[in-house]
Amino acid sequence: MDTYHQNDVLLFYSGNEGPIESFYENTGFIFELAKELQALVVFGEHRYYGDSLPYGPNKTFEPTVNMRYLNVEQALADYAVLVQEIKTMFHIKKAIVIGGSYGGLLAAWSRFKYPNIFDGALAASAPFYVTAKMILPTAFFGKVTKVDHLKGWVRNSFTSLAMVDYPYPASFLAPLPAYPVKLACGILFIDCADPTGCGTGLASLSWDYQACTEMNLVCTTNNVTDMFPPSTYDVTDYCYSRWGIPKDRRNEDWIALNYWAQDMSAGSNIIFSNGDLDPWSVGGILRDLSETLTAIVISGGAHHLDLRASDPRDPPSVTEARREETAIIKKWISEQ
């Protein structure tokens, strides 16, 4: 918890699928905003990630009994209870929830579900229409393919690795460990219910479980609209063998129904920001849905770039996006 706390405002970061320290260190905008608003800042860690393991590191990931309390509904309730306690403790009148990617989904969903606790939300790079199964499953990797330089970079990287696949560390083309191809392939090809990647460490287990139970992340490739070998990626067998979850227990339709993805227009006080370089923007909100549901598209912006700290190398578009976000949040705070 950090504070510039002189006013009765809370900026709450809704933690993502990983240790909260990573998001704390990469969300500098929230501190810049807090300084301007003289607000209290709190980062909430998502249950089953980081140090928030209910049964400890050895038993938490035993399928499925100990994992059953890992879901969106419980995470949102955690944040609501925590923020309500903080509001009482510090005499907070206005609470704004901020998050990026999955944390951005949680930020908007917190505002949808608990408008009595959260006065507004900034949801950066949040792929609402992906998790709600409202776009083609090929859209994500089609967007990745449009980054032309990436194709050459990947090709050249594998070429270089193959050339210097020595049995000992060397620095001929770059500092590399022994047998770099084996190491790289071991990192690349990890079984996971999320074809875009589950990450590494214990957090990868929690995210894998969520991808198997309720987070729809089926992104397929066809080698026509994208540069990857065709893959339909049916996770049903994998999820059953890994977590003991049968097909009829996958609640992937629940997200769309429970969190308004099919019609968000009844909500209010949410900013949806997306960078046009971000593959996840294909599933993001790219146009205003109402006067209080504002979409900001950042030209030249990558995955929730607007949440990072200001930098002299920032494109003007993200600087302007932060200005607009600040102005909107100030308006929410000023409203009675």
Cα–Cα distance between 277 and 56 in angstroms, integer?
38
- Sheet strands side by side (includes 9-14): 2-3, 40-44, 9-14, 94-100, 120-124, 270-275, 293-298
Catalytic residue selected from 5, 46, 101, 317:
101
Cα–Cα distance between 97 and 15 in angstroms, integer?
10
Q: Tell me whether residue 57 is exposed, middle or buried, using C-beta atoms within 10 angstroms of its C-beta: 0 to 12, 13 to 18, 19 or more.
A: exposed
Alpha helices in the chain (DSSP H): 20-25, 28-37, 56-59, 72-90, 102-113, 128-131, 139-145, 148-163, 180-188, 202-213, 236-243, 254-258, 316-334
303 is catalytic: yes
Cα–Cα distance between 330 and 33 in angstroms, integer?
10
Catalytic residue selected from 194, 226, 278, 306:
278
Residue pair 16/46 in contact (Cβ under 8 Å)? The answer is yes
Determine which helix (DSSP H) or strand (DSSP E) holds 286, and give its type and residue range: none
Cα–Cα distance between 95 and 138 in angstroms, integer?
37
- Residue 20 sits at the vertex; the CA angle it makes with 15 and 23, to the nearest 5 degrees, is 80
Q: Which residues are catalytic?
A: 101, 278, 303
